[in-house]
Amino acid sequence: MTGREYPDRPLVGVGVAVLRGSAVLLVRRARPPAQGAWSLPGGAQRLGETAEAAARRELLEETGLAVGALHLAGHVDSIHRDPDGRIRYHYTILDFCAAYAGGDASAGGDAAGVAWADPGQFDTYGLWEEVRRIVSSAQVRLGRSG
């Protein structure tokens, strides 16, 4: 069995870019490897769980929201090394996108906070370039402008 820290193989993660108009739903990470950072809702896929089911579960756990149709927006390779150069975390993340379907988002699970952010606010949230790329892909996929 592979642990999250210093794994012997990459782990599969999922994320969801939920768009409400031009705004995207963000969560503040409560755990490493990106503790304190703003990102898309998501987490690790469980054994026996489809990627889409994992994305829906993580979205619900972290934000309390459910969405309709999910579309694959892209993937991210998230590799974090320790000071000695050893791989401390390695996730291959499948990011989905969906249109907001209603409800009030609230932080839960591994999320310390939630926020809706327009692209002009991305610098304020310190979004990683890969998150920005996925959001841009989601906007195209869902026919939205950013």
Count CB-CB contacts under 10 A for residue 126. Answer: 11
pLDDT of residue 2: 60
pLDDT score at 146: 53
Q: Answer for the pair 5, 88: CB distance below 8 angstroms, yes or no.
A: yes
d(CA 61, CA 78): 22
Q: Examine residue 37 and state whether it is found in any structural domain, yes or no.
A: yes
Instruction: Report how far residue 11's alpha carbon sits from residue 93's, in angstroms, rounded to the nearest whole number.
Output: 8
Work out the pLDDT band at 145, boundaries 50, 70, 90: low
**pLDDT given at position 7:** 94
Model confidence pLDDT, tens digit, residues 41-91: 999 999 999 999 999 999 999 999 999 999 999 999 999 999 999 999 999
Task: Give the total number of structural domains in the chain.
Answer: 1
Task: Please indicate, yes or no, if residue 6 is contained in any of the structural domains.
Answer: no
CATH for 108: 3.90.79.10
* 74 is a domain residue: yes
Residue 4 in any domain: the answer is no
Predicted local confidence at residue 32, as pLDDT = 77
Structure tokens at 86: 């050893």
What's the mean per-residue pLDDT of the chain?
Answer: 94
Percentage of the chain surpassing pLDDT 70?
97
User: What domain range includes position 22?
Assistant: 11-139
What pLDDT does 34 receive? Answer: 81
The answer to whether residue 5 sits within a structural domain is no
CA separation for the pair 77, 12 (Å, rounded): 10
Residue 121 lies in a domain: yes
User: Residue 146 falls within a domain, yes or no?
Assistant: no
> In this model, does residue 35 exceed pLDDT 60?
yes
Asked whether the predicted pLDDT for residue 1 surpasses 50, the reply is no
Q: What stretches of 23-142 show up as alpha helix (H) in DSSP?
A: 51-63, 129-141
Distance (Å, whole) CA 8 – CA 108? 29
User: Domain for residue 80, yes or no?
Assistant: yes
